[in-house]
Structure 1
Amino acid sequence: MKLFTCASALAAALCFGSLAQAAEVDKPECIAPAQPGGGFDLTCRIAQQGLADQFDRPIQVTFMPGGIGAVAFNLFNTTRTDDPNAIVAFSSGSLLNIATGKFGQWTENDVRFVATAGADFGAVVVRADSKFETLDDVIAAVKDNAGSVVFGAGGSVGSQDWMKAALLLRSVDVDPKTMRYVAFDGGGESIAALLGGSIEVYMGDVGEMVPHLGSGDMRILAVMSDERLDGPFAEFPTAKELGYDAEWIILRGFYMGGDVPEAAYDTWVNAFEAAYQTPEFAKIQEEKGLMPLNMAGAEMDASIKERIGRMRDIAREAGLIE
């Protein structure tokens, strides 16, 4: 039998208090709100592998498809609001669905956001021989006649890809409703349309541009990150540094039910913060095609809720919601 002793009454209280907190999370689980494969599965695998040293037992990955996250969001606002063991994967698309009411009556204030898994960032991309040499050229044309510039991306009006362009236009007081936007089924189709001349500006993601950087077929005019990125993207300016308040993070992370015990929430937050300090976690992010954006706890919760509020404002201005 394993014995556990504390040297004094005070030490005992501290010891058993610590054990009680750890015991709050005794069956760690990550909910991927979709079928196996895809982004939510990837997000949970990052938690499963990246937190392997933070818990006594492996994190179980459970799939809960339905409504691109709506089923899971509703479950964790009804029957599992205080579940200490489970975190649920989300993406920027999930946040947009919350902002536009696609998850029903529940809002961002009904759950607690725990931590990020990593991120990708929006990018303004044109063909190598485009008449638009800089982002300023694109904006000048848009301000002159918004309908004269053909934007395109892998998502319909109101999607997160559309939101990237809407943010850009909104930063110069141009109504996103006046934008000429063509929707495609994914990034591959969008890039083919750009190269084929069907669209002039592709609102893509930085990560998906890695294989194309050396081809000479396309140019990145700006990256929609808060600061310049490292590595192969260091040469590309941000929209912000060019004077446009347009930032778009393709974020992946985790939330918990709104009534989860504080000790359990802190256990998950501390686990992620400890994992962020390890080279192993950074390697897992890289292998999964994400860049480091490590944030957990109250700071992260507040940041996400502010982000959803901005999305809601844009959607309302564009007439997507009332």
Structure 2
Amino acid sequence: MKHFLIASLIAGAMALPASAADYTIIAPANPGGGWDQTARSMQAAMQQEGISGNVQVQNVPGAGGTIGLAQFASQSAGNPGALLVGGYVMVGAILTNKSPVSLKDVEPIARLTGEYEAVVVPASSPIQSMGDLVEALKKDPGAVSWGGGSAGGTDHIAVGLIAKAAGVDPTKINYIAFSGGGEALAAILGSQVTAGVSGYGEFESQIKSGTLRLLAVTSPERIAGVDAPTLKEAGLDVAIENWRMVAAAPGLSDEQKKAVSADIEKLVKSAAWQETLKTKGWQDSYLAGDAFKAQLDKDIAATETVLKDIGLVQ
């Protein structure tokens, strides 16, 4: 028995590369949300696949991720074992909160996942299609209320883009921001708002049970297994994806950056991660290195334009 235990311990030690780094992942949001789920899914997969022997997740919520971002940039500088989860919502939050710290103050490593938005109404709503909703919006923009996540986030941006594409002044939209998905869902189901916008996954069970009517999705093409037209099919030239990313701390050497990037690449190619994507219904949007940084710059510029159009950024 003793020999078996020693053999097991040796096998376990050999399964981990000698240089496997310990990581602490900052999720700049409350437990349970998209960023927290991403961080904890990374934690599970990295430990399961032997990419890291010890991964901790720390929640630092507030202000659309900008509090966690600022803390990460100042306290983790030069630490190759520190990672930050973020995403498209953070891009808008940096602009709307006039955050003194931006994504230029950290080291973006890779875009990991994406989720398309869904536009829904309660099943009892007289609105049967995206065409009906756009017609109501054109008639009286203020009379159509939209429920979604934080001001300046992906949901809000999607509504601004829908208004623009429909030829409606985006500053006239009546957008009601809710701090959590549960609050927004309750307001939509209770007909306190005309329509709701969020990641498809947030609404999936209500759509399938028939309490919500799915009008359209924001993907460029139809999503397999989802019975809904794209906004483009509904005559609106809009496609938007709520992506999530991982960043390393500022002040790392080129060697340290390469090591972190290699670990993240191992993560996204692992069986455990691919299984997580299927289970969670997340799109695999992996994009790394200079290609990701170039796309990030484009996304920041496009977001700034939309938020100026909506009137959230001067």
TM-score, normalised via structure 2 length? 0.80
Provide the C-alpha distance between the structure 2 equivalents of 1:151 and 1:34, rounded to a whole number of angstroms: 23
Question: Helix, strand or coil for the counterpart of 2:311?
Answer: coil
Which structure features the higher share of helix residues?
Answer: 2
**Of residues 89, 98, 117 in structure 1, which corresponds to 2:85?**
89
Count matched residues. 297
Question: Helix, strand or coil for the counterpart of 2:286?
Answer: coil
**Of residues 72, 75, 78 in structure 1, which corresponds to 2:68?**
72
Structure 2 residue 281 is matched with structure 1 residue 285:
no
Q: Which residue of the partner structure matches residue 8 of structure 2? A: none
Question: Helix, strand or coil for the counterpart of 1:321?
Answer: coil
Provide the C-alpha distance between the structure 1 equivalents of 2:200 and 2:30, rounded to a whole number of angstroms: 25
Q: Which residue of the partner structure matches residue 245 of structure 1? A: 237
Unaligned runs of 5+ in 1: 1-21
Structure 2 residue 53 is matched with structure 1 residue 57:
yes
**Of residues 230, 241, 244 in structure 1, which corresponds to 2:224?**
230
For 2:68, the aligned partner's letter is A
Unaligned runs of 5+ in 2: 1-16
For 1:250, the aligned partner's letter is N
For 2:287, the aligned partner's letter is M
CA contact (8 A) 1:120 1:250 kept: yes
Q: Which residue of the partner structure matches residue 262 of structure 1? A: 254
Query: How has the CA–CA distance of structure 1 residues 23 and 73 changed in structure 2, closer, same or farther, with 3 Å as cutoff?
Result: farther
Query: How has the CA–CA distance of structure 1 residues 260 and 148 changed in structure 2, closer, same or farther, with 3 Å as cutoff?
Result: same
Structure 1 residue 169: Cα displacement? 0.8
Provide the C-alpha distance between the structure 1 equivalents of 2:291 and 2:258, rounded to a whole number of angstroms: 13
Provide the C-alpha distance between the structure 1 equivalents of 2:178 and 2:36, rounded to a whole number of angstroms: 23
Provide the C-alpha distance between the structure 2 equivalents of 1:75 and 1:154, rounded to a whole number of angstroms: 23
What percentage of residue pairs aligned between the two structures are identical? Answer: 29
Provide the C-alpha distance between the structure 1 equivalents of 2:185 and 2:52, rounded to a whole number of angstroms: 45
TM-align CA RMSD: 3.0
Q: Which residue of the partner structure matches residue 134 of structure 1? A: 129
CA contact (8 A) 2:26 2:72 kept: no
More deviation in 34-43 or 164-173?
34-43
Provide the C-alpha distance between the structure 2 equivalents of 1:35 and 1:180, rounded to a whole number of angstroms: 26
Structure 1 residue 68: Cα displacement? 4.9
TM-score, normalised via structure 1 length? 0.78
CA contact (8 A) 1:112 1:301 kept: no
Query: How has the CA–CA distance of structure 1 residues 295 and 201 changed in structure 2, closer, same or farther, with 3 Å as cutoff?
Result: same
For 1:187, the aligned partner's letter is G
Q: Which residue of the partner structure matches residue 161 of structure 1? A: 155
For 2:214, the aligned partner's letter is I
Provide the C-alpha distance between the structure 2 equivalents of 1:152 and 1:79, rounded to a whole number of angstroms: 36
CA contact (8 A) 1:49 1:284 kept: no
For 2:260, the aligned partner's letter is W
